[in-house]
Amino acid sequence: MIDLHCHILPGLDDGAQTMDDSLDMARTAVGDGIHTIAATPHADKWGANPDEEDLERQVAQLQEALDAKGITIRVVPGLENHLTPDLVSGRIVPLNHTRYFLVELPFEEFPHYVEQALFQLQLKGYTPILAHPERNAVLRSDPEALRGLVERGILAQLTAASLLGVFGKKTREASESYLRQGLVQVLATDSHSATGGRRPILSEALAVAARLIGPERAQALVTENPERILKGEAVEVETAVAARPRRWGFWK
């Protein structure tokens, strides 16, 4: 399996704090069957102009430490970017040097600029992947809002812990609804440590997803789709029939 969202680089954000923490997370991931992790620290560390070379060095240092300990996992670079109106004019660090990158919305609101900012990023050649849309209050209560973005080429990443109920009943129910409607293309851990509710483990949520949408479709969320993303290839998006038609906002 491939984990496209993980805060495994040490000392950069609220994820791993030390190299030992990072190694513990990697051991847990390997034990769960994960062979590749995208290191995606919060971009706030660099402000509007992240230092891609610095990030590359830190990923290389972690990979060297993993190899030295015989931990058979591959780490690739990325960032979790907070969506702002002017993100398109900043320096984007995509996943593994592709056109795909993670973008995070505020948890409690859906700002008026979201659709236009995402559209501008697409015009520049990027494919945004919404990190944990099920944790955004607006998208959680209105799956059609997410559908409108997915139908226009935005991908969506569901967090494993959300599907397991770690963030509450409403978030779990939204996660299940997204899966049934085909609104997410990636299942990732968004792990911050080797312990607690957000460990770098995918298998438990994968089993839940398999019961909801079938083993083949569920498996694609942690294997085929993430692999295509890391290679810069197109990801097939097939959503179910909408519960009710809707066109709104900037896209109308």
Q: Which CATH number goes with the domain that contains 244?
A: 3.20.20.140
**Three-class SS of residue 251?**
helix
* Res. 243: pLDDT tops 60: no
Q: What is the average pLDDT value for the chain, to the nearest integer?
A: 93
Q: H or E stretch including 56?
A: helix 52-68
Average the pLDDT over 205-229 and give the result: 98
Q: Mean per-residue pLDDT for 56-82?
A: 97
Which band of pLDDT confidence, cut at 50, 70 and 90, is reported for residue 163?
very high
> Does 181 have pLDDT greater than 70?
yes
Query: Which of 157, 99, 146, 148 minimizes the C-alpha distance to 124?
Result: 99
- CA-to-CA distance for 59 and 235, rounded, in angstroms? 25
pLDDT for 44? 78
Region 116-133 average pLDDT: 97
Q: How many residues are present in the chain?
A: 252
Write a three-state SS string for 111-145.
Answer: CCCHHHHHHHHHHCCCEEEEECHHHCHHHHHCHHH
pLDDT over threshold 70, residue 204: yes
Give the number of other CB atoms < 10 A from CB of residue 138. Answer: 17
Of the segments 85-94, 131-140, 230-239, which one has the largest average pLDDT value?
131-140
What's the average model confidence in pLDDT over 220-246?
Answer: 82
What domain range includes position 176? Answer: 2-251
Confidence of residue 48 (pLDDT cuts 50, 70, 90): low
Say what the pLDDT of residue 240 is.
57
Residue labelled with tokens 């496209």: 4
Whole-model pTM? Answer: 0.93
- 233 neighbors 99 (Cβ within 8 angstroms): no
**Which residues contact residue 110 at a Cβ distance below 8 angstroms, ignoring those fewer than 6 apart?**
136, 137, 138, 139, 145
Domains held by the chain: number: 1
What pLDDT is stored for residue 49 in this prediction?
67
| pLDDT reading at 50 higher than 60 | yes
Question: Where does the pLDDT of residue 239 fall: very low under 50, low under 70, confident under 90, or very high at 90 and above?
Answer: low
Average pLDDT of span 115-122: 96
pLDDT of residue 46: 66
Lowest mean per-residue pLDDT among 49-58, 91-100, 159-168: 49-58
